[in-house]
A and B are shown apart, each in its own frame.
Chain A
Amino acid sequence: MTKPPQPGEFYQRDRRWHPAALSQNYKTSVTRSPQFPLISLENTASEITGPVFGHDDIAPADNDLLTNFAQPGQSPIGERIIVHGRVLDENARPVPNTLVEVWQANASGRYRHKKDTYLGALDLNFGGCGRTLTDENGRYHFRTVKPGAYPWRNWVNDWRPAHIHVSVFGSGFAQRLITQLYFEGDPLIARCPIVNTIPDPEAVEMLVARLDMNATIPLDTIAYRFDIVLRGRRSTLFENRLEGN
Chain B
Amino acid sequence: MRQKLDYLKETPSQTAGPYVHIGLAPGAAGFEIYDQELGRDIAGPNAKGERIRVEGMVTDGTGSPVKDVLLEAWQANADGVYAHPEHSGGVEEGFRGWGRVITDFETGEWGFDTVKPGAVAGRSGQMMAPHISLWIVARGINVGLNTRLYFEDEPEANAADPVLNVIEWERRRATLIAKRALRGGKPVYRFDIRLQGEDETVFFDI
Which residues of A does B touch, CB under 8 Å? Answer: 7, 11, 13-15, 17-21, 23, 26, 28-36, 38-53, 57-59, 62, 68-69, 88-92, 99, 101-103, 111-116, 127-129, 131, 165, 167, 171, 173-174, 176-180, 194-195, 197-198, 202-204, 206-207, 228-232, 241-245
Contacts and interface: CB of A to CB of B under 8 A. Distances in A.
B9 A20 contact: no
A49 B87 contact: yes
B163 A59 contact: no
Contacts of A11: 7
B17 to A, nearest CB: 6
B38 A231 contact: no
Contacts of A69: 31, 33
A45 B121 contact: yes
Secondary structure class of chain A's binding surface, majority of residues: loop
Contacts of B87: 45, 49
30 contacts: A13-B205, A14-B9, A18-B12, A21-B141, A29-B142, A31-B61, A31-B140, A32-B138, A35-B61, A36-B202, A44-B163, A45-B76, A46-B120, A51-B84, A57-B38, A58-B34, A88-B8, A101-B23, A102-B23, A115-B105, A128-B23, A173-B133, A179-B14, A194-B15, A195-B14, A203-B9, A207-B12, A207-B14, A229-B10, A243-B121
Contacts of B133: 46-47, 173
Interface stretch (B45-53, B151-159, B193-201): B193-201
B190 interface: no
Nearest to B70: A178
Contacts of B74: 46, 49-51, 173
Nearest to B137: A178
B22 interface: yes
Interface string B12-42: 1111111111111010011101111010000
B30 A113 contact: yes
* Chain B interface category by residue count: 35 or more
A127 to B, nearest CB: 5
A113 B33 contact: no
Contacts of B141: 21, 29, 32-33
A50 B126 CA distance: 21
A180 B142 CA distance: 11
Given A36-B172, A177-B144, 14 more contacts: A13-B205, A18-B10, A32-B61, A36-B203, A44-B120, A51-B84, A57-B38, A69-B33, A112-B22, A128-B23, A197-B142, A207-B12, A229-B11, A231-B10
Interface string B51-88: 00000000011101010100010101000001111110
B97 A68 contact: no
Contacts of A244: 121-126
* 3 tightest A-B CB contacts, nearest first: A103-B23, A28-B140, A51-B98
A34 B144 CA distance: 12
Given A15-B205, A17-B12, A114-B30, A241 B22 contact: no
A58 B13 CA distance: 25
B139 interface: yes
Contacts of B137: 178
A139 to B, nearest CB: 16
B29 A38 contact: no
B160 interface: no
B174 interface: no
